[in-house]
Chain A
Amino acid sequence: MNHRWLALLLCLAPLSAQHSDTSLKNPFQTPDDRARGDAFFRSQCASCHGVDGKGGASGPNLSTGNFRHASNDEGLFRVITKGVAGTSMPGFSMNGREIWQIVAFIRSLSAGRDSAVTGDARAGEQLFRANRCLNCHWLNGAGSSRGLDLGRIGQRLTPAEMRNALVDPSAEVAPEYWIWQATTKDGKSLRGSRLNEDTFSLQIMDDTGRLRSVAKADLRQQSLDHRSPMPSFRDKLNDQQLNDIVSFLATLKGDAK
C-alpha cells in the first residue's frame, strides 16, 4: 500500500472512533436497579460523596452528569471497580450487577434535566445574544473568560437551577465565584475572582481577565463579597423570555457547534 495513504488512514482511524460510541451500555437501568443502586450508594459511597451525591468530605459532586475520571457508563464502572490512583477512591469488589446498579443510580442524580424546559430555544439564543451574555461568559469559541464557560451548562445545571441563577444570581454563589477586592499598601485597588490562595499569595483573575499572583505582604486589606458579579434579570426579562433563555441554555451540553 502507498505509505502516504496508510498514514492518512491511521490519522483518520481515531477520528472515526470518536464519532461512534462503542462503549458498554448499562444493562441494569430499571427503577428497581436504581433503588438497589441507591442503597449501595448510601452504604458504600455516601461517606465520601455525600448523602445526596453532591460531594462530601473527600469525594467530588456526582450529581452534575460530568465526571473527572469517566466520560460514559463504562468509565463509571471502571472507576468504581478499579478506583482512582492517588485519591481516596478505592476499587470496590462488588459483583458486576451491583456496580451497574450504582452507575444507574449515579446517572439518575443528573437525569430529568430537560423535563422542565418549556421555552423556545431559538428565541432564547437571540435573547442571550441581545442581552450581551458573552460580555462575561464564554461559549463555543467566543465571549469572555470572566464568567462561567457555558459550553456544558445544560449538563451542569437543571432548568430550575438555571432560571434561579438568572433571576437571583446571588442566592447561592460558590466560593470560587465570590468577588475578591483588595487595596495594596501603595494605595492601588484590585478586584477579581480568587482562583487559589496559600499563606503567602493569592492567584486571581482580575476584572480585565488577566491572570496574576498577588503577594499578601503587599496588601493593606482584602475582602470577599459573597454576591455574584452577574446582574439579575428578574426585572429585565418576562417569564416567557426567561423560559426561552433557559431552553437555549439547556441545549448546551458540550457538543461543538
Chain B
Amino acid sequence: MKRVVFLIGIALAAQDANWTTYHGSYASTHHSALTQITPANAKNLELKWTFQAQSLEKFEVTPLVIDGVMYITEAPNTVVALDAATGREFWIYEHKNPEVTYPCCGKINRGLAIRENTLFMGTLDGKLLAIDAITGQLRWETTVVDFKEGYALTHAPLIIKDKVLMGTAGGELGIRGFLAAYDAKTGKEVWRFKTIPEPGEPGHDTWQNDAWKHGGGPIWLTGSYDPVLNLTYWGVGNAGPDWNAKVRPGDNLYTSSVIALDADTGKLKWHFQFTPHDEWDWDAVQTPVLVDRQWRGRPRKLMLWANRNGFFYLIDRATGEFLQGTPFVKLDWAKGLDDKGRPVRVPGKVPSPQGTVIYPGVQGGTNWFAPSYSPKTDLFYLNVWDDYSSIYFAWDQEYERGKWYAGGGIKADVQSTRRDRLARRDPKSGYGAVRALNPSTGAKVWEYKMTDVSEGGIVTTAGNVLFSGNREGHFFALDAANGSLLWNVYLGGQTAASPMTFLVNGKQRVTIAVGHTLYTFGLRE
C-alpha cells in the first residue's frame, strides 16, 4: 500500500514539474502546484534564457514542457524543441503553408498537444500534423478541412485518451464550425460535431432561411475535459455574419455557447448559450475552468466562465444548469440575466448603419487569454477590459467563398492589438486590470489596475504567486491573495499569450512569449 501511495506521489510530482497541455491540466485552471517562488522571494526573479522567434507574426504560444524539454510553436506553423534549462534548440520542424491562407486576425498559432512522444499541431492550411517529439520528423498528416472555404486551425489540439481533438477558426469568413476527433496513431477521423446544426438536427430550428450554411460558430481555443464525467467542454465563437444579424433570425445555436460533448462519441450532452443571437462578435471562446467546490452549501462540479459579453457565469458542468451570472465589467447591452441565464436585452443596443456605441467593445470584457483559479485562495483571476466601448456598424453583404463576411464594421479608441502608442487615445476610453473575483458571488475581491488593456493570460501557483503580462510590455508577479505587485520587468513588447510554469533540474521556472521572444525566468541562485 505504501508503494502505491509512493508511486502516485511520483506521478503527481512529475505532473507538477511538467506542463503537459496548452492549459496545463484538463481542468484548465492555469494553476500550478509549484511552490518555490513565493511572495517573499519573487523579488529575486531574474532572466534565465530567451528564445528569439524568426517570425514577425504575433507570438501567442503557451509552451509544453515534458521532462526538461520545451515544445513551442512559432507563427505560423513551425515547431521547435528546446532545452528547458537553457533555451538551446534540439530541432525545428517547419510546415510550409500556401502563400494565401485565411486567418482572420494574424497568421498565428497558440500551441501543441503531446501524447506518447508524438506532438500534434493544426495548421493555417487546414491540416492536422503528428510530429515525432524526439526527432522532429513528420509522422502523419491529415486534412481537417478545405482551408480555401475560409477555415484556419489556430488553437492547440487536446488529447483525450487515444484521440486528438481539433476545431477551426473562420467566424468572419462564412464558415460552418466544427470540432473533430482523430485517432492519435493514424490520423483517421473518429467523430465530428458540427457547431451549426443541419436541417433535421436538434437546434436547427434556431436558424431561418439558409443562414445556417454560413453561420460561423468557429472553435479557436482549446477546451477542457472532465475524466469522471467523460465530457469535454468547448467554447463556440460568433455567428456569421458578425454584425448584420437581421439575415439570421433566431438564437443561432450553438454560436456563442459552451458545448459539452461525450469524449468518446462527440455526442452533445448539453449546451449553454451565453449570447443568443449574438450581434456583437462576442465569441464564447474563453477557457472553460473546471472547479469542484461548495456552492450554496453543497459540493458542485462547477464551470467558471468569464465571457466576452461581460458576464461571469457559474454553470453546473454535469448538467449544464445555469447557476449564476454577474457583470464583471461595464456593460449596457443587457439589463441582466433571467433565471435561465438568458440576457435581458436593452432595446437599440445593436449594430446599425449609422453606428451604435455599446459597452463592452468588440474585444469584450475579456477574451481568449487564460484566466486562472487557485484552490489556495479560492479566487478566480482574469484580465479585464473595462469601461471600454466600440461603435458597431451593420450593413448588407452577400456571402462569397473565402471572403470576409462580417456584415458591418467596428470603430474603437482602444485598438484590438498594440498598434499605436497609448497617447493616441483618450485614457478614459478604457483600461485593463488583473481582477480577482469571488467565484460564489462574482464580486471583485481585488484588482491590479493597468493603464492599457492586456491580451496576457494568467497562471497562479501554490506558492500564492500570480504571473501575467500586458500590452504595455511588462511581465509581472502579484501576490495572489491581495494583488500587490511583487516583481515587474519591462520586456518591450506586447504579451498576447498565457504564461506557464514548470520545474527543470529541480528549479521552478516561468515562461512567457512577449513580442517575438520567449522569456524564461527563475529565482537568483
A joins B in a complex: yes
Q: Is the CB of B362 within 8 A of A57?
A: yes
Taking the closest CB of chain A, its distance from the CB of B86, in whole angstroms, is: 27
Taking the closest CB of chain B, its distance from the CB of A207, in whole angstroms, is: 17
Q: Is the CB of A224 within 8 A of B421?
A: no
Is B5's beta carbon under 8 Å from chain A? no
Residues of A within 8 A of B103 (CB): 90
Q: Is the CB of B423 within 8 A of A194?
A: yes
Interface mask (A72-94 → B, CB under 8 Å = 1, otherwise 0): 00000000001101111011111
B54-105 contacts to A (CB < 8 Å):
55-58, 99-100, 102-105
Residues of B within 8 A of A43 (CB): 397-398, 400, 403-405
Q: Which of the 9-residue segments A142-150, A155-163, A196-204, A243-251 touches chain B?
A: A196-204
Partner of B423, one of A48, A83, A175: A175
Q: Is the CB of B172 within 8 A of A47?
A: yes
Q: Is the CB of A176 within 8 A of B416?
A: no
Q: Is the CB of A57 within 8 A of B423?
A: no
A200 and B474 alpha carbons, distance in the complex (Å): 10
Is B406's beta carbon under 8 Å from chain A? yes
DSSP class of A's interface residues: helix, strand, loop or mixed?
loop
Interface mask (B409-422 → A, CB under 8 Å = 1, otherwise 0): 11110011101011
Is B262's beta carbon under 8 Å from chain A? no
What is the chain B residue whose CB lies nearest that of A83? B107
Residues of A within 8 A of B355 (CB): 51
Taking the closest CB of chain B, its distance from the CB of A5, in whole angstroms, is: 40
Q: A56-B410, A198-B473 are in contact. Are A90 and B102 (CB under 8 A)?
A: yes
What is the chain B residue whose CB lies nearest that of A94? B403
Taking the closest CB of chain B, its distance from the CB of A119, in whole angstroms, is: 32
Taking the closest CB of chain B, its distance from the CB of A98, in whole angstroms, is: 10
Is A153's beta carbon under 8 Å from chain B? no
DSSP class of B's interface residues: helix, strand, loop or mixed?
loop
Q: Is the CB of A88 within 8 A of B416?
A: yes
Q: Is the CB of B409 within 8 A of A90?
A: no
Is B390's beta carbon under 8 Å from chain A? yes
Q: Is the CB of A91 within 8 A of B425?
A: no
What is the chain B residue whose CB lies nearest that of A81? B100
Residues of B within 8 A of A51 (CB): 355, 393, 409, 411
Taking the closest CB of chain B, its distance from the CB of A17, in whole angstroms, is: 27
A200 and B398 alpha carbons, distance in the complex (Å): 48
What is the chain B residue whose CB lies nearest that of A224? B427
Taking the closest CB of chain A, its distance from the CB of B229, in whole angstroms, is: 38
Q: Is the CB of B421 within 8 A of A196?
A: yes
A24-83 contacts to B (CB < 8 Å):
42-48, 50-51, 55-58, 60, 82-83
Is B140's beta carbon under 8 Å from chain A? no
Q: Is the CB of B100 within 8 A of A176?
A: no
B354-411 contacts to A (CB < 8 Å):
355, 361-363, 390, 393, 395, 397-398, 400, 402-406, 408-411
What is the chain A residue whose CB lies nearest that of B152? A90
Q: Is the CB of A58 within 8 A of B423?
A: no
A42 and B402 alpha carbons, distance in the complex (Å): 16
Is A182's beta carbon under 8 Å from chain B? no
A184 and B419 alpha carbons, distance in the complex (Å): 30
What is the chain B residue whose CB lies nearest that of A89? B106
Is B344's beta carbon under 8 Å from chain A? no
Q: Is the CB of A46 within 8 A of B417?
A: no
Taking the closest CB of chain A, its distance from the CB of B206, in whole angstroms, is: 25
Extra pairs beyond A48-B410, A57-B390, A88-B417 (20, CB < 8 Å) = A42-B395, A44-B403, A46-B393, A47-B408, A50-B409, A51-B355, A56-B412, A57-B362, A57-B363, A86-B516, A91-B100, A92-B100, A92-B403, A94-B403, A175-B424, A193-B423, A194-B423, A198-B422, A198-B450, A199-B449
Give me 13 A-to-B residue pairs in the complex whose CB atoms sit less than 8 angstroms apart, sorted by A's number: A43-B400, A46-B409, A47-B409, A51-B409, A51-B411, A56-B412, A86-B516, A88-B105, A90-B102, A175-B423, A195-B421, A197-B427, A198-B450
**Could you list which residues of chain B lie within 8 angstroms of chain A, going by C-beta atoms?**
55-58, 99-100, 102-107, 172, 242, 355, 361-363, 390, 393, 395, 397-398, 400, 402-406, 408-412, 415-417, 419, 421-427, 449-452, 470, 472-474, 488, 516
